[in-house]
Structure 1
Amino acid sequence: MNIKKELAFQEFVRRESNLVRAPYTPEQEFYSVIKSGSTAKVKELCQESLLSKKGLGTLSVNSLQNIKYHFAITAAMVARYCMEGGMELSTAYGLSDFYILKADGCTKPEDVAALHPVMCLDYAKRMKNLRKNKITSRHISACIDYILDNLHTRITIETLASLVDLNPSYLSRLFKKEAGMTVSRYIQDKKIETAQNMLIYSDYTPSEISSVLAFPNQSYFTEIFHKKTGMTPLKYRNFNFRNTEMGGKG
């Protein structure tokens, strides 16, 4: 594989959100990044003030009321995406209500805009913590961080054991007890989740994705992908593309 291209693929995987670019809508990327728990990417995307955001419609001739309406819409969308990602309904709606009330009390458009990144980061941090749900030991937490940062490599239990200075057999038992699955299953699941995002949010081929995620070969990647999603990689991409197109026309 071309070295430059492989490095580009690896950079895609290393990004915590796994969402380098979205060919459909910037809004979809934004909400998906929050849902993924990528606080670094959320900070980057929130550098543009809500006041200067392109494409905002006029919902009120009053500038303060207009930005409040857009803030409320954002809060509702973020809550929905985070619930899809596993956040409890009561938590998602509770946060949405809290921030909408905070925005409603603002007296200047700039104050509402300043609240926007605070809300988005709050949701993102909570979604990030959900990834480690029920993970209490620092050893397993360190392993999970390593796995998520190195999905582009072949990760073994020996590598992880060396990382946290534990016996491989003991680490295997501890990981399964705390994560609820074996190390290999966890790694496989995260690689497939990343592949799903790459199929939706990039134009990389299944063969390229298989290579950058360090699967032994494309056939094995397709087999595992089908087992988890019920579709081949190409069918998964086409299915999600059609759904997005239909959603955009609604």
Structure 2
Amino acid sequence: MAFYRSIKEGNLEEARRRFRPINKVDMGILSDDELRNLKYHFIISVALITRYCIEGGMEGEAAYNLSDIYIRSMDKCQKEEEVAILLKEAVDDYTQRMHIIRKQNRYPKAVILCLEYIYENLHTKISLEKLAEITGLTPAYVSKLFHKEVGKTVSEYVTAKRVEAAENMLKYSEYTCLEISDYLCFSSESYFIQVFRKHTGYTPKNYRERFFRTHWE
């Protein structure tokens, strides 16, 4: 259960390290139909994740609402591979939400609002002015407070989170480098490649060649 504890603790790196996709060899047979069998195990996994997150401090209503969203999305999946990708997304989503929850006692409310907004809006333009608007503070004070509490500037933090999102998209989707760059609001594909390489040591192309859906190989 170390995997579920890492989600409960909001430890994204550990959760990703311990994540193992549902596979045909290890899982029990709940249905003779392979896709339906995988979906049943998806529901079991999400139920366990939900329970652990509630134990870790996530509000029950929020946890179950999130569970419902993923189960409805899973119900639309037509391929086993789609179910596996969705489970990875759910693991990351729950874990990052738990990370924010566990930081709530450490960070001021304004910083929590910023972190939540950034997490939910990586695909849109994020400005100090917008963060100031949602916190009721001035842009200059938001910038100073965020850097003091988080240890990174808003720009540095947003970039790091966008790179993390890009890593997942490169590993678990077939979006092109340009599509990922546009979706995550990088100013250009060339800038995205430059930033990605700085953070990971790989170009997006090389990263995908090495890690693309390695759990299916």
TM-score bin, normalised by smaller chain:
0.5 to 0.7
The one-letter code of the counterpart of 1:149 is E
* Aligned-pair CA distance for 1:117: 5.3
Give the counterpart of 1:238 among 188, 197, 209.
209
How has the CA–CA distance of structure 1 residues 230 and 82 changed in structure 2, closer, same or farther, with 3 Å as cutoff? Answer: farther
> Over aligned residues, Cα RMSD in angstroms?
3.0
Structure 1 partner of 2:139:
168
CA contact (8 A) 1:87 1:130 kept: no
1:142 and 2:71 are equivalent in the alignment:
no
Count of matched residue pairs: 148
Q: How far apart, CA to CA, are the structure 2 residues paired with 1:243 and 1:86? A: 17
Within a 5 Å distance, the mapping from 1:24-173 to structure 2 comes to: 75=1, 77-79=3-5, 85-86=12-13, 119-124=48-53, 126=56, 127=95, 128-131=97-100, 134=103, 135-173=106-144
* Aligned-pair CA distance for 1:82: 7.4
How has the CA–CA distance of structure 1 residues 162 and 131 changed in structure 2, closer, same or farther, with 3 Å as cutoff? Answer: same
Structure 2 partner of 1:216:
187
1:181 and 2:152 are equivalent in the alignment:
yes
* Aligned-pair CA distance for 1:77: 4.7
How has the CA–CA distance of structure 1 residues 180 and 203 changed in structure 2, closer, same or farther, with 3 Å as cutoff? Answer: same
CA contact (8 A) 2:169 2:175 kept: yes
Q: How far apart, CA to CA, are the structure 2 residues paired with 1:185 and 1:195? A: 15
The one-letter code of the counterpart of 2:99 is L
* Aligned-pair CA distance for 1:85: 2.3
How has the CA–CA distance of structure 1 residues 86 and 132 changed in structure 2, closer, same or farther, with 3 Å as cutoff? Answer: farther
Flag the structure with more relative contact order, 1 or 2, with Cα contacts below 8 A and sequence separation at least 6. 1
Q: How far apart, CA to CA, are the structure 1 residues paired with 2:169 and 2:135? A: 30
* Aligned-pair CA distance for 1:207: 0.3
CA contact (8 A) 1:82 1:123 kept: yes
Q: How far apart, CA to CA, are the structure 1 residues paired with 2:136 and 2:100? A: 23
Unaligned runs of 5+ in 2: 19-42, 57-94
How has the CA–CA distance of structure 1 residues 133 and 227 changed in structure 2, closer, same or farther, with 3 Å as cutoff? Answer: farther
* Aligned-pair CA distance for 1:78: 3.7
CA contact (8 A) 2:100 2:116 kept: no
Larger radius of gyration: 1
* Aligned-pair CA distance for 1:234: 1.2
The one-letter code of the counterpart of 2:124 is T
CA contact (8 A) 1:86 1:130 kept: no
How has the CA–CA distance of structure 1 residues 76 and 132 changed in structure 2, closer, same or farther, with 3 Å as cutoff? Answer: closer
* Aligned-pair CA distance for 1:243: 4.1
* Aligned-pair CA distance for 1:244: 3.0
Structure 1 partner of 2:37:
none
Q: How far apart, CA to CA, are the structure 1 residues paired with 2:116 and 2:168? A: 19
Q: How far apart, CA to CA, are the structure 1 residues paired with 2:101 and 2:146? A: 12
* Aligned-pair CA distance for 1:206: 0.6
The one-letter code of the counterpart of 2:156 is R
* Aligned-pair CA distance for 1:129: 2.6
Give the % identical residues.
37
Unaligned runs of 5+ in 1: 1-74, 93-113
Structure 1 partner of 2:174:
203
